[in-house]
Amino acid sequence: MNRTAAGNTTLSIDQAKAPSRSRRRLNLLPYALVLPIVLYEGAMVVYPIIQGIYGSFTRIELASDRPAVWVGLDNYTRMFNDPAFWKVMQTTLLFTALVVIVALSAGLLTALLFNRPFRGRSVARSMMMMPWAFPEVPVVMIFIWILSPQFGVVNLLVRWIPGITENPQWLQVPWLAMGWMVLIASWKAFPFYSLVILSALQSVPQELYEAAKVDGASPLQLFWRITIPSIGTTLELLVVLACIFSFKQFTIIYLMTGGGPVGATETIVLRIYNTAFRFYDYSYAAALGVSGFVVSLVIAFFFIILQARRAQENARI
């Protein structure tokens, strides 16, 4: 009898150990799934960032076989004393702010429109997404043809305005070139913002609108008191994403104007490209890249702080 009890006790101990071993094996599965992503991000993102930061503190001479020479803050001193850098940064911030305002406004308006039921809404939504789905190079080619001084469609429309007798040079006048860069970048980006806002709008409870209508709220009050607060977190996220996407915009500006005329549309990304691959000044280009990276981090941290404050306010409520 005692021998049987001892055998059962030993068996129960082995059964208790078996799940713990299997549990340890299963706990390794999430790490195994994440490992490829970590390796990819480390090789393709983290390592280039570290190399770029290190390169900004050195002097790299491609014409010679000598290794990079440590120069400390010389590249940053040169950058902060360079008037062209501040002009480029001002142009970048202006372009970013205008694209954020125009693209998000268009996205919000179209999302409000497509949130209402009407015939052919599915087809209209699909057509709205086409600018976002088009590759940037074909889009640039189309707009170069549209804005052509000789046979552009825009010039045909503008010539109908009284007082205009000559075809405007859309990409040769600084403020016109900047305006078109903002419009093209906003036209390309707003469908994505509209889709995200539309998803947020569809998650707003309709009971809130019905209760407010019973209390006599106007459509404008419904918008400011219910719609905007309900999708506020989504709008904040889109503002940050729009800032980052606009800040690093390269293809449209490079192919449309190349940063011209007279540097009116040259952003920090184009400046980095020209410095590195036209003037072969890789060390200074790395310093410019670090400055752009820092600005992007500041934007991201601002959103994180904003989200933390919002979470604290919700917790108090």
Domain ranges of the chain: 2-55, 81-316
Output the pLDDT for position 260: 85
Q: How far apart are CA 15 and CA 31, in angstroms?
A: 26
Output the pLDDT for position 159: 79
Regions in the chain scoring below 70 on pLDDT: 1-26, 63, 314, 317
| Contacts of 264 by beta carbon, 8 Å cutoff, 6+ apart | 91, 174, 175, 177, 178, 257
Output the pLDDT for position 15: 52
Per the CATH hierarchy, to which homologous superfamily does domain 81-316 belong?
A: MetI-like (1.10.3720.10)
Output the pLDDT for position 87: 94
Amino acid at 161: I
- Chain centroid to Cα 43, Å, comes to 22
Contact at 8 Å (CB) between 170 and 176? yes
Helical (H) or strand (E) element with 59: strand 58-59
Rounded CA Rg of the chain = 28
Output the pLDDT for position 262: 87
Q: How far apart are CA 90 and CA 268, in angstroms?
A: 9
DSSP H helices, the chain, are 2-41, 47-55, 74-80, 83-114, 121-128, 130-133, 136-146, 153-158, 174-202, 206-214, 219-222, 228-230, 232-247, 251-256, 268-277, 282-316
What the block records as the tokens of 111 is 């999302």
- Max CA pair span of the chain: 113
